[in-house]
Structure 1
Amino acid sequence: MSAHPVDETFVVDGIHPVDEKLPALKMVTSGLQHVAAMYAGVVAPPLIVGAAIGLSGTELTFLTGACLFTAGLATFLQTLGIWKIGARLPFVNGVTFAGVAPMTAVVASTEDKSDALPIIFGAVIVAGLLGFLAAPVFCKAVRFFPPVVTGTVITLIGVSLLPVAFGWAQGPNPAADDYGSTTYLALAGITLVLVLLLRRFTRGFVKQIAVLLGLVAGTLVAVPFGVTDFGPVADARLVGFPTPFHFGAPQFHIAAVLSMCVVMVVSMTESTADMLALGEIVERPADERTIAAGLRADTLGSALSPLFNGFMCSAFAQNIGLVAMTRVRSRFVVAFGGGFLVLMGLCPMAASLIAVVPRPVLGGAGVVLFGSVAASGIQTLVRAGLDRDNNVLIVAVSLAVGIIPITAPGFYHAFPETARIVLDSGISTGCVTAVLLNLVLNHLGKGREARDVTHPMEAGEEIAAVH
């Protein structure tokens, strides 16, 4: 029997779509879509940190492969689950970008650059273990997420991800002269149109893998423009394994540990919001038990990741858009995606195949994926009772606060670096703002009478259901 509540409205033959095992071909192709949607997000942090350290090309490839491998293991934990670990939702896990700033700060403050990665790995291990212990307490925050809050956060997730797609659309290197050229933007536009046409004029299986087909077609279109580079495939080795502690045994420095603990809090906040969002989309509401299990998977995956030379792991919001658009809700599809990540970590040549997809092509597909997340948030807000002034204020202010890091990236430049780890995350600041405003406006004093009745908390309930 499943440990998670099931809404019988969406159950077919006793199986919820989240637990459905699809035909093999559909599993493989849909899983590849998830890998394609999140690949760039996984490889970016190790590339940035590795470049800051001054790693050689071989060592940089090794670090990137290790992060892909550990992302796959963390995805297995999240989707398949063991014991009370894993949300058992279609979640892809990967390296959180929130850790890039503190990791590069560690690199900058380390005299011997060969010690930088061991110091980072030690900090991640401690932060992961502390996060694992805190998960049962942290998950109780779900009672503070009625639809007016979840809808706002889901919308912010989508809006916060769109600049990533826009950056991809402009090219692979922001410092290059051709960054943002008409060629790159045209390729992104063509890919976007191809995905839209496939979604509009196809049916069934083809419609569900429209993003994957769009990425393949966009890559082929890019070949005559000289944008598609097949060099990584020719140069890649067939087999490689992320040797444990390849860069040295972990070191534990208090400053690095504290900074990564802050990142862990940010990551857990965003993962909670992501689980609530995905629960809405797949029509299996994420309760306290689900969120606790999901946070355990995130934090345990993070604690184990440095063993294989990987960084802190977190649920990837961009894949929520893929689930929302394709309506393929099976967690086993994402588990297949995790298998591909492990394979790419063990087979550099396989990893290089995904790397062939030009960044502008990813950007064109990303507009649809990330926009779908924002649209899902708006759908939730429609049910949140926006005819009430208090709820309108919650949405208005929270969205404004959450969009600050996007529209004004240097807004918090005068704050300490540790504070900016939190403040520069629009999802986290918007989420906290929405929760606090909901408490003040809908639960304190006279506002309590106007509380959001669509998300009741029954007396004596041990969990809160998000509808």
Structure 2
Amino acid sequence: MFTSGLQHVAAMYAGVVAPPLIVGAAVGLSGTELTFLTGASLFTAGLATFLQTLGVWKIGAKLPFVNGVTFAGVAPMLAIIDTTKDKADALPVIFGAIIVAGLLGFLAAPWFSRLVRFFPPVVTGTVITLIGISLLPVAFGWAQGPNPAADDYGSGKFLALAAVTLAIVLLLRRFTRGFLKQIAVLVGLVLGTLIAIPFGVTDFTPVTEADVVGFPSPFHFGAPQFALAAIISMCVVMLVSMTESTADMLALGEIVERPADEKTIAAGLRADTLGSAISPLFNGFMCSAFAQNVGLVAMTRIRSRFVVACGGGILVLMGLSPMMASLISVVPRPVLGGAGVVLFGSVAASGIQTLVKAGLEKDNNVLIVAVSLAVGIIPITKPDFYHAFPQTAQIILDSGISTGCVAAVLLNVVFNHFGRRADDDEVTAPMEPGDEISETRTAKAAHVH
């Protein structure tokens, strides 16, 4: 049980520590504070996993379901940081917004479980793709070096370290099997760090200064602050997170041969949202399902929820040891950048896989994806696009995930729900030789909701 639980931790570890590293670096935290934030995320991920697997009352799907920090919240949190004048207030504002979003999501869970039809693959696939695309620039920035103001930023040695780390991960994924293949990213980070030592870019100070045992003291970065724009932004993220979790519960239910009904989905969403509301108390972020662990259950055929609960216990223990949590802060930014290309790119690829099931042979769905992706990519390609808008509005608009999600949901409602006609399900087929130009052949498309 311990070994199988450790494998789940290995599969999700890089995904759990990446968001606090990104957010902490944006705030300008020191190595020690970054270690603390990382440990807090591990600790709260363990608590959320306990809630989901073991369950309390009507809280928890009681499936082998791993919870951790969601990637969907990273871009909106960076937008909040950018629009906060005093960076010291950024984390309290983020934590306050997550608490409110978590509590509102908890109350809305029973109703949300009935609204799944408004979040078909064409919406969820678009959003997941945007999550990966939004995070890739972070990996590229890491690959260029630790300090953007330094003269050697973007130099060959940093890019080489990133490339070597990427190559290690790819080779491990290609030529190994089982446990080693699942922890390819983790092994790549370790080997990349060792290779980086002669280059003088590895700092072991956080490990030597960290305590062996420590507790993530509540509100370490200050009491939560409640800003309306930040709350709205994180509520949108909560909707995205609940959508992802619902899709994962449906998939996992099929894998373990216990189909997730409306009651199970509602209980699972309560665990997600309550875990998110509690997480900021211990300086953690919004929690959601980890799709890579769903794949691990399918691959290993180990379907026991208690195995995953054991993994949650390991996460809690890691969060209670600053020395263990600090190990990730030793990894040089270029090495993280190389691994991040795989990690964040995999998120985008997962979204594309979902879009494949979205019925893109329908013109309506193609338009939904095209426009939603375009709206979501605006803040990435033109960061100052919304500079003339009020600062509170920029927190939401500067998050491509939030704007892309809203656009996808609204367009899906307009094209696939309101005023539907019988011929909406017909698509134009390619013209064959001999067909008259004025004639159009139609083929029935799959009815996608």
On whether the aligned pair clears a TM of 0.5, the verdict is yes
TM-score by length of 2: 0.79
Secondary structure of 2:115 counterpart: helix
CA contact (8 A) 1:76 1:338 kept: yes
Q: Is 1:262–2:236 an aligned residue pair?
A: no
Structure 1 counterpart of 2:137, from 163, 176, 197: 163
Equivalent residue for 1:34?
Answer: 12
- SS of the residue aligned with 1:415? coil
Shift of 1:359: 2.2
Aligned equivalent of 1:93, options 62, 68, 74: 68
- Indicate conservation of the 8 Å contact 1:65/1:344, yes or no: yes
User: Is 1:137 equivalent to 2:107 in the alignment?
Assistant: no
Equivalent in the alignment of 1:464: none
Q: CA deviation at 1:417?
A: 2.7
Residue in structure 1 matching 2:244, options 258, 274, 286: 274
- The alpha-carbon distance between structure 1 residues 408 and 334, as it changes in their structure 2 partners (threshold 3 A), is farther
Query: Residues of 2 paired with 1:346 and 1:382: CA distance?
Result: 42
Contact 1:281 1:376 in 2 (8 A): no
Residues 262 and 421 in structure 1, CA contact (< 8 A), matched pair in contact too: no
Pair 78,175 (structure 1): closer, same or farther in 2 beyond 3 Å = farther
Out of 161, 173, 185, the residue aligned to residue 211 of structure 1 is 185
Q: Structure 1: which 5+ runs fail to align?
A: 1-22, 457-467
Gaps of 5+ in 2: 426-444
Q: Distance in 2 between matches of 1:290 and 1:360?
A: 42
Q: In the alignment, is the contact (CA less than 8 A) between 1:269 and 1:428 conserved in 2?
A: no
Q: Which amino acid is the alignment partner of residue 438 of structure 1? A: N
Q: Which amino acid aligns with 2:399?
A: S
User: For this pair of structures, how many residues does the alignment match?
Assistant: 419
- Indicate if the aligned counterparts of 2:10 and 2:183 stay in contact, CA closer than 8 A: no
The CA distance in 1 between the partners of 2:78 and 2:103, in whole Å, is 20
Change (3 A) 1:326 1:136: closer
| Matched AA of 1:39 | V
Q: In structure 2, what is the Cα distance between the partners aligned to 1:440 and 1:239?
A: 54
1:170–1:185 CA contact under 8 A, matched in 2: yes
Contact 1:99 1:312 in 2 (8 A): no
What amino acid maps onto 2:197 in structure 1?
A: V
RMSD (Å), alpha carbons? 3.6
The answer to whether the 8 Å contact 1:384/1:454 transfers is no
SS, match of residue 315 in structure 1 = strand
Q: In structure 1, how many angstroms separate the alpha carbons of the residues matched to 2:261 and 2:134?
A: 25
Paired residue for 1:313?
Answer: 286
Preserved contact between residue 75 and residue 338 of structure 1 (Cα < 8 Å): yes
How many Å apart are 1:31 and its aligned residue? 0.9
The alpha carbon displacement at 1:265 in A equals 1.0
CA shift for structure 1 position 151: 2.5
**Cα distance, 1:129 vs. partner?**
2.7
Q: Does 1:191 align with 2:169?
A: no
1:35-54 alignment to 2 at 5 Å?
35-46=13-24, 48-49=26-27, 51=29
Cα separation, partners in 2 of 1:139 and 1:238, compared to 1, 3 Å: same
Post-superposition offset of 1:271:
0.2
- Counterpart contact for 1:187–1:364, Cα < 8 Å: yes
Tell me if structure 2 keeps the 8 A contact 1:275–1:286. Answer: no
Report whether the alignment pairs 1:438 with 2:412: yes
The answer to whether the 8 A contact 2:165-2:189 is kept is yes
Indicate the residue corresponding to 1:239 in structure 2. 213
Shift of 1:91: 4.0
Aligned to 1:375: 349
The DSSP-based 3-state class of the residue aligned with 1:93 is: strand
1:70 corresponds to which residue? 44
SS of residue matched to 2:69: strand
Q: Cα deviation per residue 1:228-256 (whole Å; 9 max; x = unaligned)? A: 222211111112223345567x57x7xx2
Q: Which residue of 1 aligns with 2:368?
A: 394
1: distance between equivalents of 2:47 and 2:199? 37
Amino acid at match of 1:24: F
Distance 1:323 1:414, change over 3 A: farther
The answer to whether the 8 A contact 2:233-2:402 is kept is no
Give TM-score scaled by structure 1 length.
0.76
CA change 1:220–1:176 in 2 (3 A) is same
Distance change in 2, residues 1:82/1:389 (3 Å): same
Kindly provide the CA deviation profile for residues 123-156 of structure 1, in whole angstroms up to 9, marking residues without a partner as x: 6544533332233334443211222223222322
Q: Say whether the 8 Å CA contact 1:325–1:369 is kept in structure 2.
A: no
Q: Whole-Å Cα distance in 1 between the matches of residues 356 and 127 of structure 2?
A: 14
| 2:124 match | 150
Q: Is the 8 A contact 2:143 2:333 kept in 1?
A: yes
Tell me the amino acid that sits aligned with residue 45 of structure 1. Answer: V
User: Within 1, Cα distance between the matches of 2:92 and 2:363?
Assistant: 52
- Structure 2 match to 1:3: none
Instruction: Determine what percentage of the aligned residue pairs are the same residue.
Output: 65
CA distance, structure 1, for counterparts of residue 93 and residue 185 of structure 2:
39
Question: Is the 1:278–1:320 contact (alpha carbons within 8 Å) kept by the matching residues of 2?
Answer: yes
- Structure 1 partner of 2:378: 404
Contact 2:48-2:275 within 8 A present in 1 as well = yes
